[in-house]
Amino acid sequence: MNIFARKLGRILPAAFLCGIAGTALARSPVVRTDSGPVRGQTDAHVASFKGIPFARPPVGELRWRPPAAPAPWRRVRDATAYGPDCMQVPFPGDAAPLGVTPAEDCLYLNVWTQTRFKGRKLPVMVWIYGGGFVNGGSSPPEYDGSAFARDGVVLVSFNYRLGNFGFFAHPALSAEQAGGPLGNYGYMDQIAALKWVQRNVAAFGGDPHNVTVFGESAGGISVNALLTSPLAAGLFQKAIIESGAGRAGLPARTLRGGTNSAEATGVALARSFGIEGTDADSLAKLRAIPAAKLLGNLNMATMGANPNYVGGPIEDGELNLGTPVALYAAGKAQRVPLIVGANSMDIGFMQAKSVDALVEQFGPDAEAARAAYAPAADTNVGLAAFKAGGDQMMIEPAREIARLLSAHQPTYEFRFSYVAASLRATTPGAPHATEIPYVFDTVAARYGKDLTPQDAAAAKAVHAYWVGFASTGVPQAPGEPAWPAYQPGSDEIMDFTLQGPVAGPDPWKARMDLAQRFSERHAAN
């Protein structure tokens, strides 16, 4: 019988074997992935598995190559600690500081699930972190997936390459990898992680046919790209975009052609290291640059002043097809249920020396802009410009995405306006990324001793809507208001306010109309 069992273990699919074992993870948190077995840890009714390789280390000859399948292993691999986050210079003041030291060997993912799922398939959520494509990782405590697992969702998070490791082009690379996707190695990592989920999540109790991909900031921009890239088709069934821009966002460079192309930038980077050629030998020299030197001082604070970095995803025609709003208007999007929204004091980059100079930028809408952003005579120009910039970059584009996609698929718009009690004295609205610990219900980790019962209750509500959406495709939460699907005529949203979730017509409709007109005028010029 033991011989038969050993033979059976070599023959049966890993997911089937893991599905049997997975019903008893409380006793032995070991799961067999398609690369080998991993042992996690349990806490109450949650089993977590961290630092699972989903690709080979992208180092040496594998730097600037599509992710390759990880080398298989036979012995049970410890999966109780995060793998390294990807190479970066940590950003001072990051709302989600890393929990581990970054390294170039960083393609690892994490899974949280219930210890006893009794054969039923659980919905799956896959998280993509933000950080401007130069910062971020899966290790911050704010991204812990325990609350999702507790509430019946398998949560998966992963790392993807950043900066010049993740977004880089060079004529020698184009020659080496002719016929395949180029430049967007960070996006390739994201697709590889989603494919890993398709192959393996059933072993952790998850349903590979009920996957929700969600992300914030650069992660939200990534979700836009996944919704429009044919290479991601079929890898998920629902999507959530949190502060993911949508109009100009991070303007992408084209792969080749002209002095501002991604390839030209790659040549300039190579030249900064004394590498002049564009042949295979020059590429070998580029791959031999020590990771710390290639990284330099690149992060969110310095990326704008770095002429040798492409600035993020490259418009390559396969993984990044262009501006999301334009693509959605052309009908190029996966037809999946969608949540999209932004925060009430989201990030943006409008600048002016005075309120008068700010509102003058709105041309015929100058007085409407003054009423929206500087209604008081003593309004601080910095605050007014920040509000206007947030509308331009994040808040109004979320509405435009909702308008365009609601014609084809169930779409739900939100605004996150809740401000933690400890921040209200100094913060007039919800800043960029502050919704994340509410979505994950990790506000205790974020606010510690400053957490109030109201903060905790707000997190329970937001988190419940995300769980409901992952489960059914409708963001519904027990005991909370119904969230209406977005319709352009009624312009209804769900606003997460200090008074709790409030569903109804957008109270900022006139302000959003103003922002839309501004964007459309500037796009036409």
pLDDT at 23 over 60: no
- pLDDT classification of 251: cutoffs 50, 70, 90: low
Secondary structure of 273-307 as H, E, C letters: CCCCCCCHHHHHHHHCCCHHHHHCCCCCCCHHHCC
Strand 154-158 and strand 500-505: pairing? unpaired
pLDDT of residue 169: 97
Structure tokens at 14: 């890993």
- Asked whether the beta carbons of 350 and 383 are under 8 A apart, the reply is no
pLDDT of residue 8: 29
Q: Which of 89-98, 105-114, 480-489 comes out lowest in average pLDDT?
A: 89-98
pLDDT at 442 over 70: yes
CA gap 364, 135 in Å, rounded? 39
pLDDT digits (tens, 9 = 90+) for 282-323: 999 999 999 999 999 999 999 989 999 999 999 999 999 999
Task: Report how far apart, in Å, the C-alpha atoms of 308 and of each of 1, 292, 300 are.
Answer: 63, 15, 14
pLDDT at 473 over 60: yes
- pLDDT classification of 2: cutoffs 50, 70, 90: very low
pLDDT of residue 379: 87
CA gap 407, 40 in Å, rounded? 44
- pLDDT classification of 525: cutoffs 50, 70, 90: confident
Residue type, position 271, single letter = R
Q: Which of 112-121, 220-229, 436-445 comes out lowest in average pLDDT?
A: 112-121
Give the distance between the most distant pair of CA atoms in the chain.
Answer: 85
- Taken in order of first residue, the domains within the chain and their CATH numbers are 2-336 (3.40.50.1820)
- pLDDT classification of 24: cutoffs 50, 70, 90: low
- Nearest in space to 22 (alpha carbons), one of 127, 126, 121: 121
pLDDT of residue 250: 62
- Asked whether the beta carbons of 136 and 73 are under 8 A apart, the reply is no
pLDDT of residue 249: 59
- Asked whether the beta carbons of 328 and 401 are under 8 A apart, the reply is yes
Give the H/E segment covering residue 52. Answer: strand 46-53
CA gap 199, 124 in Å, rounded? 13
CA gap 469, 237 in Å, rounded? 11
pLDDT of residue 469: 98
pLDDT at 409 over 50: yes
pLDDT digits (tens, 9 = 90+) for 51-72: 999 999 999 999 999 999 999 9
pTM, to two decimals: 0.95
- Asked whether the beta carbons of 153 and 124 are under 8 A apart, the reply is yes
- Whose structure tokens read 């992060």? 299
- Asked whether the beta carbons of 107 and 47 are under 8 A apart, the reply is no
CA gap 167, 183 in Å, rounded? 5
The dihedral built from the CA positions of residue 71, 77, 78 and 79, taken in this order, carries a sign that is positive
pLDDT at 248 over 80: no
- Nearest in space to 437 (alpha carbons), one of 197, 69, 95: 95
pLDDT at 47 over 50: yes
CA gap 171, 261 in Å, rounded? 11
- Nearest in space to 79 (alpha carbons), one of 116, 139, 37, 140: 37
